[in-house]
A and B are shown apart, each in its own frame.
Chain A
């Protein structure tokens, strides 16, 4: 497809200039952070910024993640690269395969096993637990948000009565409220429940089926559960609205045809509507993932010790020591790269939206 025409050259040059400027504008902070993370403290602390020709080191990464002062980081890097390559390969195959599910599950499994094995191979710091928290919170938030959002979005797209409109508008109102308006009510609510659990002794019962390792007493505050519940709640308006807008694009005749073909409504939803919705599900899932992965406020308030990575990083940036600056930079780079990989893998789905053609005549 030939879009460019020679006659519009000057405006195109200007356009490119603006785009390059925007790219530089947004990439520079990250490049700066990445540089900082591999510098020695003296270069970071120098009055004139050292932009190139400096000596590189993985000290910051080691100090942040590992409980060791003189470990060779090449082994760790190799481990991470192998895991990332395996997960990426599985993800790529899954994206091309007709049934992506097993492959995506496989990629998730590889990451989970790696996360589980890592602290048994190397001596990990507390920060490693925060990484695990981040992953658990992100995945749980995504799965729960999408499950609720798909059913609610579908229902609200197909049911056009007045109560549906009310639900949608209320949801939008909650979305519009500032995050800070929720965090204290959630905190007090969770505290009330915890107090009740403690005072009645319910919290220390032994439930046979939900005996999680490392969980002695049942509580809400300062658990991953608290973060997931809060994030699902604040994110739900977004998933519902976003998925509903995609569902509206799917003609009603799709599920009607499936039902005439012999499917129940649930089968029609699962076998016909959900496959059509895949791009929408992936796009919504990615946004939810970013929200959960980057959340600071809720984690800080609802989980005073069960941090996720953003809180851990922020705790490093308060001081003036240049040592913590390189560590914070290393931590930022570490948590950004996985997200960048995921976005690159799925960016096609973010843009593609719904494939047209077969739906309309």
Chain B
């Protein structure tokens, strides 16, 4: 039983900086949880607290029923993969992988067999006699994995293990690590700043910002219904477009609501309001509205679309990616700062909007285009609290 429970973990540094505030999480046996957040958000600190490399200021850490707060790292039965791999340079690959077993006084014959087995899983058999200095980045990464899996620990801890690899290798290793984890069934706590890794690898994703947990859920739920503006903007690439807008009633058109977005006016479909009972109370009040780029489409590609869910815009930038085309235009609306410290400052407050059009879109730079907005996929957030507007139980009132 290696469930992991974090109860109100707090980390204060001696200089008074609070790196982690009340972090509570639960990992089921065999679960792959990804903790994702921008740089400096405390995610590595959280991992190091679980590992025992940082003291826990307050709160409790349990693996199974065992409280581990004051247990030395070596006795926690966890294996960790470091961002820089931390391979032992004076040892060969085989010795690196065997090191944890050697410390546990596993007999030599068994050690050799285990190392062989791990090397086979990781396709390192050819490299066993080499020193880490003679390996490629991907191979080093796999050796670090080997050192972790050879001991069958209760918990894997991974601290941005892919961030030192080039993009192609990263895609491959992403799948490999997820595959190995599933095969071994070891509970895994994985830290990354890369939301793509979070989305593709995790059974569940935990988003953290400034040491405060924002949302924990399956990748689909995190993406489909983010709890607040930060999560909405952080997950997904390109980011969700977030604007200040206001909600007005549509009495002259026979009920329903409209969204005033800069110079534009969009009808809000009735089912959207029905799904979010709390939205009605925002009539006449400012809100933050979020639109994912893929929910915008060139009207000339998809002409069958209600006319009151369209925007007029002029194309500023066009990026043809082959399978799709990213089109940037200005909406003359106030953009909302999601609070992501990694976001580019220059792009804030510009009213800039990104759309993901089909590759067949004829839009060119400077063209005046009409943009279909998938009104059912709009996201609404409170202007003050930045929390999602859903219903009383979940969202704005929380």
Residues of B within 8 A of A260 (CB): 51, 53, 73-74, 78-80, 157
CB-based contact A361/B53 at 8 Å: no
Q: Is the CB of A254 within 8 A of B73?
A: no
Expressed in whole angstroms, the Cα–Cα distance for A43 and B89 within the complex equals 57
B80 lies within 8 A of A262 (CB): no
Contact B88 A262 (CB under 8 A): no
- Interface status of B147 (Cβ within 8 A of chain A): yes
For B151, list chain A residues within 8 Å (CB).
261-262
Q: Quick check: B84 and A360 within 8 Å, CB to CB?
A: yes
A193, CB-defined interface residue at 8 Å = no
Cross-chain contact A254 with B86 (CB below 8 angstroms): yes
| Residues in chain B near residue A361, CB distance under 8 A | 83-85, 137, 140, 164
Taking the nearest CB of chain A, how far is it from the CB of B7, in angstroms? Answer: 23
Alpha-carbon separation in the docked complex, A251 to B131 (Å): 18
B223 contacts A by Cβ under 8 Å: no
A253–B103 touching, CB < 8 Å: no
* Contact between B89 and A358, CB atoms less than 8 A apart: yes
In the assembled complex, A230 has its CB within 8 A of some CB on chain B: no
Q: Tell me the smallest distance from the CB of B173 to a CB of chain A, in Å.
A: 13
B103 near A267: Cβ-Cβ < 8 Å: yes
A246 to chain B, nearest CB (A): 14
* Chain A proximity mask over B78-110: 1 for CB below 8 Å, otherwise 0: 111011111111100000000110011000000
Known: A260-B51, A361-B137. A254 touches B104 (CB 8 A): no
With known contacts A357-B132, A358-B87, A361-B85, A257–B80 Cβ distance under 8 A: yes
Q: Which residues of B contact A257 (CB under 8 A)?
A: 80, 82, 86-88, 147
Q: Are B88 and A254 in contact (CB under 8 A)?
A: yes
Q: With A256-B53, A259-B53, A358-B132 in contact, do A264 and B72 touch (Cβ < 8 Å)?
A: yes
Contact with A along B23-58 (1 / 0, CB 8 A): 000000000000000000000000000011100000
- The residue among B52, B79, B88, B151 with the most chain A CB atoms within 10 A of its own CB is B88
Check: A115 CB closer than 8 A to any chain B CB: no
Contact yes or no, A276 B51, CB < 8 A: no
Total interface residues in chain B, CB < 8 Å: 32
Chain B min CB distance to A222 (Å): 44
- Do residues A263 and B85 form an inter-chain contact, with CB atoms below 8 A? no
Asked whether A272 is an interface residue with its Cβ less than 8 Å from the other chain, the reply is: yes
Smallest beta-carbon distance A34→chain B, Å: 40
- Chain B residue nearest to A275 (CB atoms) is B90
- CB-CB under 8 A for A259 and B73, given A272-B88, A359-B89: yes
In the bound complex, what is the Cα–Cα distance between A151 and B361 (angstroms)?
68
How far does the alpha carbon of A260 sit from the alpha carbon of B85 in the complex, in Å? 13
Q: How near does chain A come to B120, taking the closest CB pair, in angstroms?
A: 21
Complex CA gap A356/B134 in Å reads: 11
A99 shortest CB reach to chain B, Å: 11
Contact of A262 among B74, B86, B89, B137 (CB under 8 A): B74
- Flag whether B133 is at the interface (Cβ < 8 A): yes
Q: Does A318 contact B (CB under 8 A)?
A: no
A348 to chain B, nearest CB (A): 16
Q: Is A355 an interface residue (CB 8 A)?
A: yes
Q: Mark A228-267, 1 if CB is under 8 A from B, else 0.
A: 0000000000000000000000010110111111111001
Chain B contacts for A263, CB-based, 8 A? 74, 103
Contacts of A258 in B (CB 8 A): 88, 99
Docked Cα-Cα span, A257 to B87, in Å, equals 8
Is B100's CB under 8 angstroms from A262's CB?
yes
> Hey, which chain B residues are within 8 Å of A259, CB to CB?
52-53, 72-74
Residues A261 and B84 in contact, CB atoms below 8 Å apart: no
A166→B69 CA distance, assembly (Å): 32
Q: Which residue of B lies closest to A254 (CB)?
A: B86
Q: Type the 1/0 row for A324-361, where 1 means its CB is closer than 8 Å to any CB of B.
A: 00000000000000000000000000000001111111
Closest B residue by C-beta to A357:
B133
Do A355 and B88 contact each other (CB < 8 Å), given the known contacts A259-B74, A262-B104, A361-B164? Answer: no
Chain A residue numbers with a CB within 8 Å of B74 are: 259-264
Residues of B within 8 A of A276 (CB): 88-90
The answer to whether A262 and B84 touch across the interface, beta carbons within 8 angstroms, is no
Most buried by B among A251, A260, A263, A271: A260
Q: Please tell me if the beta carbons of B72 and A253 are within 8 angstroms of each other in the complex.
A: no
CA A262 – CA B80 in complex, angstroms?
Answer: 11
Question: Which residues of A are found within 8 Å of B72, using beta-carbon distances?
Answer: 259, 264
Chain A contacts for B157, CB-based, 8 A = 260
CB < 8 Å neighbour of B133 from A254, A271, A355: A355
B151 to chain A, nearest CB (A): 8
Cβ-closest 6 pairs across A and B: A357-B133, A358-B132, A358-B89, A253-B86, A257-B86, A361-B164
Instruction: Beyond the given A260-B79, A355-B133, please list 6 additional residue pairs across the A-B interface where CB-CB is below 8 A.
Output: A259-B74, A275-B90, A276-B89, A278-B90, A358-B133, A361-B83
Task: List 28 interface pairs A-B (beta carbons < 8 Å), by A numbering.
Answer: A251-B84, A256-B73, A256-B82, A256-B86, A258-B88, A258-B99, A260-B51, A260-B73, A260-B78, A260-B157, A261-B74, A262-B103, A262-B104, A262-B151, A264-B72, A264-B74, A267-B103, A272-B88, A275-B88, A275-B90, A276-B88, A276-B90, A355-B89, A355-B133, A357-B134, A358-B89, A358-B131, A358-B132
